[in-house]
Amino acid sequence: MEISGKTKVFCVIGDPIEHSLSPIMHNAAFRHLKIDAVYLAFKVGAKMLEDAVKGIRSFGIYGVNVTTPHKTAITNYIDESDSVVKFVGAVNTVLNSEGNLVGFNTDGIGALRALEENGVKTKGKKFLLLGAGGAGRAIAFQLAQEADELVILNRDVAKARLLADALRKRFNKEIFADSPSRDVLKNWIGNVDVLINATSVGMHPNEEQTPVEKGLLKPELTVMDIVYNPIETRLLKDAKSIGAKVIYGTEMLVFQGAASFEIWFKRPAPVKVMREAIFEKLQTGGLSLGR
């Protein structure tokens, strides 16, 4: 596609950013739909974030994805935020509406769409969520609106309890918090339908690590890991080996990206095209350590 003075510019900002898959995914969508746009990756250090946001305004960059380490800090420089951002305190998508920067967080809806598109209904189900960081909070916010019961386990138990309390008050649901010790995991796994790993345990280069030992898993469980490097984590390998249903982190990556696309263009994203672009890149060794 020819780039001209009319071409809209989109980007992802973060540090590191060199291995981001977002340009692969979104540029494939632009080509498929013949949208006159280009998506780039910009390395932005923590000290340069405010200047980068000024650049987004002045250059008229239409849409931005935000990754580590800026998801929280960028809330200080945007004009508006959606309800998820206000609760979670983190932004991963920005819409530039004629200089007015609006922040969104699509991590949670990306996780829910990944579940639903893989045949897992959220309503009436019991979920066990590992992690209460940025992605974990966003996923918890969405699950609390749909699930029958939610358990949040985090190494910093106080953080998990604060999150559970806030969600309980907001949605009036059964939400619990505890540490991810073996005894606690054993107790809860036997009483839930879906396990989601929203921690970085098992991410490259620590592929042999797992947040849950194989002996605690059960065939009736659905297991989703938001880690996508490697594509098949040890947790997912173990779950698959005992007959449990597994959902790969690439699914959440695609659907949170699709949600960003739909915020920017107000039209359905070409999910199949975006997924195929990511898998092609991953399978040729272009593994991403960031967004």
Residues in CB range of 163: below 8 A, 6 or more apart: 132, 136, 137, 140, 152, 154, 177
Average pLDDT score over residue span 217-239: 95
pLDDT greater than 60 at residue 287: no
Q: What average pLDDT does this structure show over 271-277?
A: 97
The question of whether 173 is a catalytic residue gets the answer no
Judge: domain 108-247, CATH 3.40.50.2000: no
Cα separation, 157 vs 130, in Å, equals 11
Residue 242 burial (CB < 10 Å; 0-12/13-18/19+)?
Answer: middle
What pLDDT was estimated at residue 289? 39
Reply yes or no on whether the pLDDT at 222 is more than 50.
yes
Place of tokens 């987004």: 56
Half-sphere exposure of 286 (CA within 13 A, CB side): 16
Q: What is the pLDDT of residue 175?
A: 96
Residue 291 has pLDDT above 50, yes or no: no
Percent of the chain with pLDDT over 70: 97
Distance CA 77, CA 241 (A): 47
Tens digit of each residue's pLDDT (9 = 90 or more) over 118-141: 999 999 999 999 999 889 999 999
Task: Write down the catalytic residue from 71, 169, 218, 237.
Answer: 71
pLDDT of 199 strictly over 50: yes
Would you kindly state where each structural domain of the chain is located, as residue ranges? 8-105+252-283, 108-247
Provide the residue type at 271 as one letter: V
Average pLDDT, the chain: 94
Decide if pLDDT at 286 tops 60: no
CATH superfamily of this structure's domain 8-105+252-283: Leucine Dehydrogenase, chain A, domain 1 (3.40.50.10860)
pTM of the model: 0.92
Q: Are 171 and 144 in contact (CB under 8 A)?
A: yes
β strands within 98-221, DSSP E: 100-104, 126-130, 149-153, 174-178, 194-197
Q: How confident is the model at residue 5 (pLDDT cuts 50, 70, 90)?
A: very high
Q: What is the pLDDT of residues 235-245, one digit of tens each?
A: 999 999 999 99
Cα separation of 13 and 286, whole Å? 19
pLDDT attached to residue 288: 41
On whether the CB atoms of residues 291 and 91 are closer than 8 A, the answer is: no
Model confidence pLDDT, tens digit, residues 36-53: 999 999 999 999 999 999
Task: Give tens-digit pLDDT for 64-76.
Answer: 999 989 999 999 9
